[in-house]
Structure 1
Amino acid sequence: MVTGSVEGLAGLVDSALRRRQSGAVAAFVAGAPQEEVALAAVRVLGPDALAPALLAGAAPLGADRMVLVRALDAHPVTGADGLEVLCLTQAARALCGGEDATGVGSAAAGWARATAGWDWITLSRRVAWLAPMAWPQLCGPVGETVCGRAVDVGRGLARAMLRRDYPTAARLARWAALAGRLGTDPGLDLDTVTRHLDLCGDASSRTALHTELARRMTPAAAEGP
């Protein structure tokens, strides 16, 4: 049930992104038959639930931020959650004004330190789960690590494409695009990657959302026509 709700919300956010609209999250929860399930979906998307505002560089609507806060409170971090969950939670809290957005919390710094012992496959697999943090204003130490190992992220993206693991490829494409925007070269033609994902990717709304965000995050898209 939660998986279906996540897919529904991802589709709404993707549609709002293309139409340059905000407010999809608050409307989604308000119209949901089961509010708890809807809040769980918001919790899963995390910062990406507010993607239209983040992409526009604008402050998210107060109603949308409040829904994200409610989702975080309804589904708090537990001791069994991994470092990636802590990173995403602190990034979402920062977005809602609960933490310093420039530091994005201690978990991200701890994650960045841990990567020193990871090979490129481990790095790409772990950073893929942090795709909802792949925003210039939220990436913090994770973004610095990705920029420092952009070629490794590019290798992970190429590996995912060859394995037809399109959900992972779309997530890594976001980090590769962000690295390019921040001045480092992941060694891939991201326009070709996103076109391939559009044509051959799975039918998941969340993969489609990651792909669209990767496309919008490329340096060429940032420069505009």
Structure 2
Amino acid sequence: MNPSEFFGKFTSRYFWGNICAMAIVVVVACAGVKYGLDVYTHHGESISVPDVRRKSFADAQYLLEDAGMQVVVSDTGYVRNLPPDCILEQSPEPGTNVKSGHIIYLIVNASHTPTITVPDVIDNSSLREAMAKLTAMGFKLTQPEYIDGEKDWVYGLTVKGRHVVAGDKVSVNDYITIQVGNGQRDSTEDIDYIDAPEPIHNEDGFEEETGDVDEFHEVTAPEGE
């Protein structure tokens, strides 16, 4: 191939036609990718999250899904003066701008009062240890009730005047009273006392020593020896 033929190919319509076709394919592909990403990520779309707090779960779910969002219950709580299934909190907060399909996490009011299991603190803990453990678990405590016994030793737990033991379920709204020793012995405890022996006096009026006395007989030697 001579130089004139080689350079002649660059001026042919077939060559430039292929170049233009390739350029158009690249432009269309880039435009298609950008459009697809915009659709997938909802680029430029903004939806304000509605306020569904204090609404029933059914109403909240309808409002959020109708706005193009997804609903997930992330946790439950308990507020006494609110009805069961009432929405306590939501995330993101109301008024936040999100894209379509965004997940809204809800905290729903429980249908019954949560309970906590009583730990094993009776007769194996001091007052300080029992208070620390119970408060850390979420129990509400009253002033301790002092009873006769070893000082600061836990002898029992009561809820509304009823004794509870390890493993019992107690409502988070109830108060626990710790029965703790006041350092005084129980007056009903029976103690066996031993009477001290009365002193024995000899003929001269002196007190004789009491106790075990070895008895012995005087032995005399035979006469004539």
Select the structure of larger CA radius of gyration: 2
TM range (shorter): under 0.3
Which structure carries more strand by proportion?
Answer: 2
Which structure carries more helix by proportion?
Answer: 1
| TM-score, normalization by structure 2 | 0.20
| TM-score, normalization by structure 1 | 0.20
